[in-house]
Structure 1
């Protein structure tokens, strides 16, 4: 064979390579859809991906009597909807979903039908199981093949993405080790009570701000959010930078980039709801943060198109921020702004004041937080009304000349009050008309608290755990901590810088 013939063969071979590669990957499923995943029970399930325009894609799950066929649209995308039955407690049947098109077949094996939740936020949600207080006990015991885990790869994007990194895995000591501790304990508690498969998707990143998880057009449509968050970013040189997936502490605070890259890829996924642990990066904000987070929740509900999906979130734990002044309350005012988020329907907040560590921004006792989120979901979403999920919540105070009686909403103290260490309740403060607060002695009487303070002759206001880093001991007899509160509406003092 002469040299000229060899060259022709090589050229023809090289020309054929792209065609061959294209033929191999004509139909591509979304990377969210994989073997080992949990499919949300009792609601339509979407199967989506990319294929050449006009390609017929056929979807067949082993629980379906007949397949569903759709055609890829002009944008080379397809989306099919298949029915999913309700799953009975104790049914851990492993299923198969087959997707065919353009002469190719892809199979999703070891698929379970159950409940799927998205877990998002910043570092305290990302906090890994092997870093927790009880990791030596919990990690080796995490053998739950009926719980499936997905950790989304970090990315940033100026435009909404369809792709995401990550792999669905069975819950084992190896896979759970680096998974979200709050997410795992949430899922484990759901599994223990519901006895159905649980799917958990973690998609978040440490140090991130809430505005990073809100679509650009949603921020632009709100006058306050546009002014506070979006426009300052768009007016800055940072907004003109070429975007890549590398982490920086600054990049995770930029508006909309995380929504585009690590939330939007999941919007076609059928889910039961969301859990959220974030706030430290927005701690200097008040009304704007409440509005921002409520808007984020509503934007996710709109994007996922699955109705009024629940979102349960965590109030930030006590922390001193290198200011060893027990009277400072700026972080308490932020926690109050977080509490106001729950005025939005189908949301709920869990409290961490008793499991925080005043000198550690990342408290290591994550199990109670995940369990409390699960209790909230079990009561509110799954209708297990016998499961208590609220700690004592302030109702009103009766001010006498010598004593103040603090009353809580009756449904939050139905079994009574106690402290978690047997001591008197701590972190109560009383003020007179001069607005100066002094520590009060507290005692439990039935379902209310009686306070005395000799320094205040005519009390007009009471506060509980309304400072930056109080680690509390007051709870109801269901073991749930009291919510911080203040009876006054006095403006927040302006801190001297």
Structure 2
């Protein structure tokens, strides 16, 4: 009899504890908040927490009727509302409300426009307070209908739903520490499209790409499993308790950042992604290309909105404390980055002209954000009159000891020029001995004529294919030429 009452008592206590464990105050999910931008012209998922089994009524002032859903046994709910297409010049504030068990929670000052997620490591995190002419730029950053969300850093062994951060209107206070690249990108879209734009920054300096990829995705690919996942799982670090504290080592561990600062946004309707990362993976080649493509696919699958656009930034010139203008290991890594764009609906932005050879964090971030925006305007928004490509190599002809380089016509339709009026720099030619020498470069219409006294019979050309060339060649739209090589010779050890 005693055993029976003991079992009943324990069961009652367990049920009571469970009820308290799953009891939830009515609330929106963390990415949903006052001052947010709701993605236009897409079904909008509204999710959050409520009492388990409770009916939740979701109402928006733009929707013709409310939606009712039931919270699951853990208190989680999700409903879907239609969202109209944004109208140019319409910045009307809206509200979004939850009602359940005589409790009401309401979001105010919600705008309808476009939302973009920006992520990566330190050059994406790089704040407006550090850019060229920072105080002047910050003072001008008064855009009440551009909304910013700065996700707080966190790590997790398993995917989680909560994330720190809040939506803010863009002004000189909220923009000061915000990602400069993301700000310039969002402000350009806001200006040209004349609709509300929301920009989410979720990333951290020094982070490696594998940190943003789900564990199951790494495990499913033999190369990614071998190169990234197993070395971590077989180390003592994988057995440590994971907390939110930063360390330069922890931001390189596989899948922890995906779980904590990407996964919480997966229900958010968005237009696409911008990505500036690579310095922490610079010694990798094919594995990085595959890793980044796997990351893009996994994000697209998690957000479940089709092949969302993904625009990446190629790493800028940097010497890594080795002053040897012939070294090219970083160039081979840039090549691996460019190879990522073989994946559909991806594009790459070049930074070779705005880098600083001895500064890993160049301060001139405005052109990068604007180039990302030009890419989006052309590729995503169909503004075909907006040029976004720099000169891209097409072919080379060797004749009489010289090389004539041609570019893709679409990338040089405005013509070729240099940004300083000097001859193009950082062209090299090599003969059959595979030894490269600097080449004299002359612009001939939309082509480049190369010659070198050291190479009588050139068979290969490279452009900006060393570690830290700050370039001057561009088209007349001011977009820099993309680094390239015409050979397929193996990278030296």
Instruction: Identify whether the pair has TM-score above 0.5, normalized to the shorter chain.
Output: yes
**What residue number does 1:335 align with?**
334
Question: Residues 48-59 of structure 1: matches in 2 within 5 Å?
Answer: 48-59=47-58
Unpaired segments of 5 or more residues in structure 2? 1-16
Q: Is the 8 A contact 2:217 2:298 kept in 1?
A: yes
Question: Residues 456-495 of structure 1: matches in 2 within 5 Å?
Answer: 456-494=455-493
Q: Is the 8 A contact 2:138 2:176 kept in 1?
A: yes
**What residue number does 2:264 align with?**
265
**What residue number does 1:189 align with?**
188
Deviations 1:304-338 (A, max 9, x none): 01111011010000000000000000000000000
Deviations 1:322-370 (A, max 9, x none): 0000000000000000000000000000000000000000000000000
Between the aligned partners of 2:147 and 2:191, the Cα distance in structure 1 is 14
| CA-atom RMSD in angstroms | 1.5
Q: Is the 8 A contact 1:37 1:112 kept in 2?
A: yes
**What residue number does 2:14 align with?**
none
Q: Is the 8 A contact 1:26 1:102 kept in 2?
A: no
Deviations 1:275-320 (A, max 9, x none): 0000000000000000000000000000001111011010000000
**What residue number does 1:413 align with?**
412
Between the aligned partners of 2:157 and 2:99, the Cα distance in structure 1 is 33
CA displacement at 1:78 relative to structure 2: 0.3
3-state DSSP of counterpart to 1:175: coil
Between the aligned partners of 1:59 and 1:108, the Cα distance in structure 2 is 11
**What residue number does 1:375 align with?**
374
Between the aligned partners of 1:164 and 1:467, the Cα distance in structure 2 is 40
**What residue number does 2:10 align with?**
none
Between the aligned partners of 2:54 and 2:23, the Cα distance in structure 1 is 14
3-state DSSP of counterpart to 2:308: coil
CA displacement at 1:417 relative to structure 2: 0.1
Runs of 4+ in 1 over 3 A off after TM superposition: 21-25
**TM-score for both structures, normalised by structure 2:** 0.95
Deviations 1:466-495 (A, max 9, x none): 00000000000111000000000000000x
**What residue number does 1:156 align with?**
155
Unpaired segments of 5 or more residues in structure 1? 1-17
CA displacement at 1:193 relative to structure 2: 0.8
3-state DSSP of counterpart to 2:174: helix
Question: Residues 234-313 of structure 1: matches in 2 within 5 Å?
Answer: 234-313=233-312
Q: Is the 8 A contact 2:37 2:197 kept in 1?
A: yes
**TM-score for both structures, normalised by structure 1:** 0.94
CA displacement at 1:400 relative to structure 2: 1.2
**What residue number does 1:430 align with?**
429
Further displaced range: 246-255 or 73-82: 73-82
Between the aligned partners of 1:406 and 1:317, the Cα distance in structure 2 is 23
Between the aligned partners of 2:450 and 2:472, the Cα distance in structure 1 is 16
CA displacement at 1:385 relative to structure 2: 0.3
Question: Residues 79-158 of structure 1: matches in 2 within 5 Å?
Answer: 79-158=78-157
CA displacement at 1:401 relative to structure 2: 2.4
CA displacement at 1:73 relative to structure 2: 1.5
CA displacement at 1:52 relative to structure 2: 2.5
Question: Residues 326 and 77 of structure 1: is their aligned pair in 2 closer, same or farther, counting only changes over 3 Å?
Answer: same
Q: Is the 8 A contact 2:24 2:75 kept in 1?
A: no
**What residue number does 1:386 align with?**
385
3-state DSSP of counterpart to 1:124: helix
CA displacement at 1:22 relative to structure 2: 9.3
